[in-house]
Amino acid sequence: MFIDLRSDTVTKPTQGMKEAMFTAEVGDDVFGDDPTVIALEEKAATMFGKEAALFCASGTMTNQLAIRVHTSPGSEVICDKLSHIYLYEGGGIALNSLSSLKLLEGNKGRINAQQVRDAINNPEDIHQPITSLVSLENTMNKGGGCYYDLAEIEAIRVVCNEHQLPLHLDGARLFNALVETNESALTHGNLFDSISICLSKGLGCPVGSLLIGKKDFIKKARRVRKAMGGGWRQAGFLAAAGIYALDNHVERLKEDHARAREIGIMLQGLPFVEEIYPIDTNIVIFRLPDSILATEFVAKAKEQNLGCVTFGKHLVRFVTHHDFSDEHLAAFEKTIKQII
């Protein structure tokens, strides 16, 4: 048995999801007449209290579309230094939007309102780029799946309003935060100008993310998506998986969180574990001693049929997901003790 904890992107469609995909009514999304894509976009927009949504291939695409529409060449985006939009999107902000970044050092990737206020450039100073966007990530991947306190997001929203700045959310794993806090999608929709959500992580879809916002914003994003080569035809087969996931796979994310915490318990006391990040959702990050490289640990884990990834020179990440069952958890407990 291979225990795959590399990411929650490794999930395969369930039988119910496959049936929904195989029976989907489709059209041509570039012509705007795929009924299942339209239904998914309308469903997502309604969930967050927004006017429109755009179905795309990946969360990187939805984030980059949002940044491109919100910014102008030569402007600046405020985010944490651990943000996915900075670390893991191929330099897309520079490439696609011709914008720079002001990187803040938050609490495990979560910045606060005062930091945002202090980071906003004086628009009258010609030596500085014009601040054009604030971007948050929730849950925070590099922070071990931690999530924002709602009051802090509200405070950041106030700062953005004062300076007439749009606020974007990289919500690739937002539903993990929502089920853990019992907060509503509508509440978050009211706080952000644009939201990116991923369907192919914890929700278990094979492909797809959504960008959500106002109609005019999504209209502009659709044009940029086309220029990026992101137009697709009978995308309804994939959109059907998204509808099924939103209807059936959100609440079960709590099971992934519970298993992640069990992994945390199993790691405690092992001789090669120096530190375990607090486990808030479905991500487990732990630190190895200086004598063991993360690359070495990951290689040895793979030899024992355990998949994980490096997250720093001495950091290793596990991510629980739909296809990681109690049977896998029991096998993990035996395997983890045999690696080093």
Distances (CA, A) of 126 to 72, 75, 130, 273: 15, 12, 9, 50
pLDDT number for residue 340: 78
Pairing of strands 309-310, 315-319: antiparallel
- Both 167 and 215 in one domain: the answer is yes
Are residues 167 and 76 part of one domain? yes
Do 103 and 232 belong to one domain? yes
Query: Which among 149, 153, 162 is positioned nearest to 190, based on CA atoms?
Result: 153
Residues 256 and 244 in one domain: no
Domain shared by 139 and 204, yes or no: yes
Q: Does 281 lie in the same domain as 179?
A: no
- Inside any domain, residue 1: no
pLDDT at 253: 98
Domain of residue 86: give its range: 9-248
Q: Which of 220, 248, 276 is the last residue of a domain?
A: 248
Boundary of a domain, candidates 248, 278, 304: 248
Residue 181 lies in a domain: yes
* Ramachandran category for residue 54: left, alpha or beta (phi over 0 → left; psi -120 to 50 → alpha): beta
Q: What pLDDT sits at residue 318?
A: 98
Q: What is the pLDDT of residue 316?
A: 98
Q: What residues in the chain have per-residue pLDDT under 50?
A: none
Specify the number of domains making up the chain: 2
Q: What CATH number corresponds to the domain at position 56? A: 3.40.640.10
Q: What is the CATH number of the domain that holds 316?
A: 3.90.1150.10
Instruction: Clarify whether residues 317 and 190 are in a common domain.
Output: no
Q: Is residue 3 part of a domain?
A: no
pLDDT of residue 47: 98
pLDDT computed for residue 22 by the predictor: 98
Tell me: the pLDDT tens digits for 316-330? 999 999 999 999 999
